Protein backbone atom coordinates (compact mmCIF):
# COMPACT_ATOMS: atom_id res chain seq x y z
CA UNK A 1 0.00 0.00 0.00
CA UNK A 2 1.30 3.45 -0.95
CA UNK A 3 1.84 6.12 1.69
CA UNK A 4 -1.18 8.11 0.45
CA UNK A 5 -3.45 5.08 0.85
CA UNK A 6 -1.96 4.31 4.27
CA UNK A 7 -2.63 7.88 5.36
CA UNK A 8 -6.21 7.77 4.06
CA UNK A 9 -6.89 4.49 5.84
CA UNK A 10 -5.33 5.74 9.08
CA UNK A 11 -7.21 9.03 8.93
CA UNK A 12 -10.58 7.37 8.31
CA UNK A 13 -9.96 4.96 11.17
CA UNK A 14 -9.07 7.77 13.56
CA UNK A 15 -11.89 10.04 12.37
CA UNK A 16 -14.40 7.27 13.06
CA UNK A 17 -12.94 6.12 16.39
CA UNK A 18 -12.12 9.42 18.09
CA UNK A 19 -13.79 12.04 15.91
CA UNK A 20 -12.63 14.31 13.13
CA UNK A 21 -12.01 17.33 15.36
CA UNK A 22 -10.02 15.34 17.92
CA UNK A 23 -7.72 13.71 15.34
CA UNK A 24 -4.35 15.32 14.70
CA UNK A 25 -2.09 15.04 11.69
CA UNK A 26 0.61 13.68 13.99
CA UNK A 27 -1.71 10.81 15.01
CA UNK A 28 -2.64 10.07 11.40
CA UNK A 29 1.00 9.93 10.33
CA UNK A 30 1.95 7.74 13.31
CA UNK A 31 -0.85 5.24 12.65
CA UNK A 32 0.11 5.12 8.96
CA UNK A 33 3.75 4.54 9.89
CA UNK A 34 5.01 7.65 8.10
CA UNK A 35 6.30 11.06 9.11
CA UNK A 36 4.26 14.25 9.29
CA UNK A 37 6.38 15.50 6.42
CA UNK A 38 5.14 12.60 4.31
CA UNK A 39 1.58 13.55 5.26
CA UNK A 40 2.12 17.09 4.00
CA UNK A 41 3.58 15.81 0.73
CA UNK A 42 0.25 14.11 0.06
CA UNK A 43 -2.26 16.47 1.71
CA UNK A 44 -2.35 20.13 2.70
CA UNK A 45 -4.46 19.44 5.83
CA UNK A 46 -6.55 16.70 7.40
CA UNK A 47 -9.70 17.78 5.52
CA UNK A 48 -7.81 17.20 2.29
CA UNK A 49 -7.80 13.47 3.10
CA UNK A 50 -11.56 13.47 2.48
CA UNK A 51 -11.36 15.34 -0.83
CA UNK A 52 -9.25 13.59 -3.43
CA UNK A 53 -7.60 15.85 -5.98
CA UNK A 54 -8.10 13.38 -8.80
CA UNK A 55 -11.86 13.11 -8.35
CA UNK A 56 -12.71 9.53 -9.40
CA UNK A 57 -16.42 10.37 -9.77
CA UNK A 58 -15.65 13.15 -12.23
CA UNK A 59 -13.19 10.93 -14.10
CA UNK A 60 -15.80 8.18 -14.57
CA UNK A 61 -18.55 10.57 -15.69
CA UNK A 62 -16.24 12.55 -17.96
CA UNK A 63 -14.86 9.42 -19.63
CA UNK A 64 -18.36 8.10 -20.29
CA UNK A 65 -19.43 11.40 -21.86
CA UNK A 66 -16.31 11.52 -24.07
CA UNK A 67 -16.94 7.99 -25.30
CA UNK A 68 -20.71 8.24 -25.85
CA UNK A 69 -21.77 11.81 -26.67
CA UNK A 70 -21.91 11.25 -30.45
CA UNK A 71 -24.52 8.47 -30.17
CA UNK A 72 -26.74 10.34 -27.74
CA UNK A 73 -29.85 12.13 -28.98
CA UNK A 74 -30.70 13.41 -25.49
CA UNK A 75 -28.39 15.33 -23.18
CA UNK A 76 -30.30 14.26 -20.08
CA UNK A 77 -30.06 10.59 -21.10
CA UNK A 78 -26.34 10.96 -21.76
CA UNK A 79 -25.82 12.45 -18.31
CA UNK A 80 -28.08 9.94 -16.56
CA UNK A 81 -26.32 7.01 -18.21
CA UNK A 82 -22.94 8.46 -17.25
CA UNK A 83 -24.02 8.78 -13.60
CA UNK A 84 -25.66 5.32 -13.52
CA UNK A 85 -22.38 3.77 -14.69
CA UNK A 86 -20.41 5.16 -11.72
CA UNK A 87 -18.57 2.34 -9.94
CA UNK A 88 -16.49 4.27 -7.39
CA UNK A 89 -19.17 4.21 -4.69
CA UNK A 90 -19.96 0.50 -4.81
CA UNK A 91 -16.25 -0.37 -5.01
CA UNK A 92 -15.55 1.64 -1.85
CA UNK A 93 -18.91 1.49 -0.06
CA UNK A 94 -17.58 1.44 3.53
CA UNK A 95 -15.13 4.28 2.94
CA UNK A 96 -17.76 6.30 1.08
CA UNK A 97 -20.26 5.83 3.89
CA UNK A 98 -17.71 6.80 6.55
CA UNK A 99 -16.64 9.83 4.53
CA UNK A 100 -20.25 10.99 4.16
CA UNK A 101 -20.90 10.58 7.88
CA UNK A 102 -17.83 12.66 8.76
CA UNK A 103 -18.70 15.39 6.25
CA UNK A 104 -22.34 15.70 7.33
CA UNK A 105 -21.23 16.40 10.92
CA UNK A 106 -19.05 19.40 9.99
CA UNK A 107 -20.44 22.54 8.31
CA UNK A 108 -17.04 23.51 6.87
CA UNK A 109 -16.73 20.09 5.22
CA UNK A 110 -20.31 20.28 3.92
CA UNK A 111 -19.45 23.61 2.31
CA UNK A 112 -16.35 22.14 0.72
CA UNK A 113 -18.35 19.17 -0.59
CA UNK A 114 -20.98 21.49 -2.09
CA UNK A 115 -18.26 23.56 -3.76
CA UNK A 116 -16.68 20.38 -5.13
CA UNK A 117 -20.02 19.28 -6.61
CA UNK A 118 -20.65 22.73 -8.11
CA UNK A 119 -17.20 22.70 -9.68
CA UNK A 120 -17.86 19.24 -11.10
CA UNK A 121 -21.19 20.37 -12.62
CA UNK A 122 -19.46 23.34 -14.24
CA UNK A 123 -16.71 21.08 -15.61
CA UNK A 124 -19.29 18.70 -17.08
CA UNK A 125 -21.18 21.62 -18.69
CA UNK A 126 -17.93 22.94 -20.16
CA UNK A 127 -16.93 19.49 -21.37
CA UNK A 128 -20.21 19.02 -23.25
CA UNK A 129 -19.92 22.52 -24.77
CA UNK A 130 -16.29 21.92 -25.82
CA UNK A 131 -17.26 18.64 -27.49
CA UNK A 132 -19.43 20.77 -29.80
CA UNK A 133 -22.47 18.62 -29.25
CA UNK A 134 -25.77 19.47 -30.91
CA UNK A 135 -27.27 20.64 -27.61
CA UNK A 136 -27.88 24.28 -26.74
CA UNK A 137 -26.10 25.71 -23.70
CA UNK A 138 -29.34 26.21 -21.79
CA UNK A 139 -30.26 22.55 -22.44
CA UNK A 140 -26.86 21.45 -21.18
CA UNK A 141 -27.04 23.57 -18.02
CA UNK A 142 -30.60 22.45 -17.27
CA UNK A 143 -29.80 18.79 -17.91
CA UNK A 144 -26.67 18.91 -15.74
CA UNK A 145 -28.65 20.57 -12.93
CA UNK A 146 -31.43 17.97 -13.10
CA UNK A 147 -29.03 15.04 -13.46
CA UNK A 148 -26.99 16.10 -10.45
CA UNK A 149 -30.09 16.72 -8.34
CA UNK A 150 -31.17 13.17 -9.16
CA UNK A 151 -27.62 12.01 -8.42
CA UNK A 152 -27.65 13.67 -4.99
CA UNK A 153 -31.02 12.12 -4.07
CA UNK A 154 -29.88 8.72 -5.35
CA UNK A 155 -26.68 8.99 -3.34
CA UNK A 156 -28.65 9.69 -0.15
CA UNK A 157 -30.93 6.71 -0.87
CA UNK A 158 -27.90 4.52 -1.54
CA UNK A 159 -26.35 5.54 1.79
CA UNK A 160 -29.55 4.54 3.63
CA UNK A 161 -30.05 1.18 1.91
CA UNK A 162 -27.13 -1.23 1.82
CA UNK A 163 -29.21 -3.71 -0.21
CA UNK A 164 -29.01 -1.71 -3.43
CA UNK A 165 -26.13 -0.75 -5.65
CA UNK A 166 -25.62 2.82 -6.79
CA UNK A 167 -26.87 2.21 -10.33
CA UNK A 168 -30.16 0.82 -8.98
CA UNK A 169 -30.54 3.81 -6.72
CA UNK A 170 -29.99 6.16 -9.68
CA UNK A 171 -32.53 4.23 -11.73
CA UNK A 172 -35.12 4.39 -8.93
CA UNK A 173 -34.83 8.17 -8.51
CA UNK A 174 -34.72 8.71 -12.29
CA UNK A 175 -37.97 6.75 -12.67
CA UNK A 176 -39.60 8.86 -9.92
CA UNK A 177 -38.51 12.02 -11.71
CA UNK A 178 -39.94 10.78 -15.01
CA UNK A 179 -43.24 9.94 -13.28
CA UNK A 180 -43.41 13.50 -11.94
CA UNK A 181 -42.86 14.90 -15.43
CA UNK A 182 -45.61 12.68 -16.86
CA UNK A 183 -47.98 13.74 -14.07
CA UNK A 184 -47.20 17.40 -14.75
CA UNK A 185 -47.85 16.97 -18.47
CA UNK A 186 -51.18 15.23 -17.80
CA UNK A 187 -52.52 17.75 -15.30
Mean pLDDT by 10 residues, the chain (187 residues): 88 94 95 94 92 84 88 88 89 91 95 93 89 84 95 95 93 95 90
Q: In this structure, is the dihedral angle defined by the CA atoms of residues 47, 141, 148 and 77, taken in order, positive or negative? A: negative
CA atoms within 13 A on the CB side of 182: 6
- In angstroms, the CA 177 to CA 99 distance is 27
Query: CATH 1.10.357.10 residue ranges in the chain?
Result: 53-186
pLDDT of residue 70: 82
- B/e letters for 139-160, b = 16+ CB within 10 Å, e = fewer, are ebbebbebbbebbebbbebbbe
Query: CATH 1.10.10.60 residue ranges in the chain?
Result: 3-49
pLDDT of residue 48: 92
Alpha helices (runs of H) in the chain, residue ranges in sequence order: 3-18, 25-32, 36-42, 56-68, 75-84, 88-91, 93-104, 107-130, 137-160, 166-186
pTM: 0.86
From the options 3.30.70.1280, 3.60.21.10, 1.20.1050.10, 1.10.10.60, give the CATH code of 3-49: 1.10.10.60
Q: What single-letter DSSP state applies at residue 69?
A: G
Listed residue (51, 46, 65, 171) closest to 119, CA to CA: 51
What dotted CATH number matches 53-186?
1.10.357.10
Amino acid sequence: MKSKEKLQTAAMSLFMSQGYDQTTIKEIAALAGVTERTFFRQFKDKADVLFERDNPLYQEVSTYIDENYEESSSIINLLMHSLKKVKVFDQNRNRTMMRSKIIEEHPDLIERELLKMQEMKECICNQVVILKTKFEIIEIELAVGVAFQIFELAFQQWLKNEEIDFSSSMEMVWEKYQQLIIEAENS
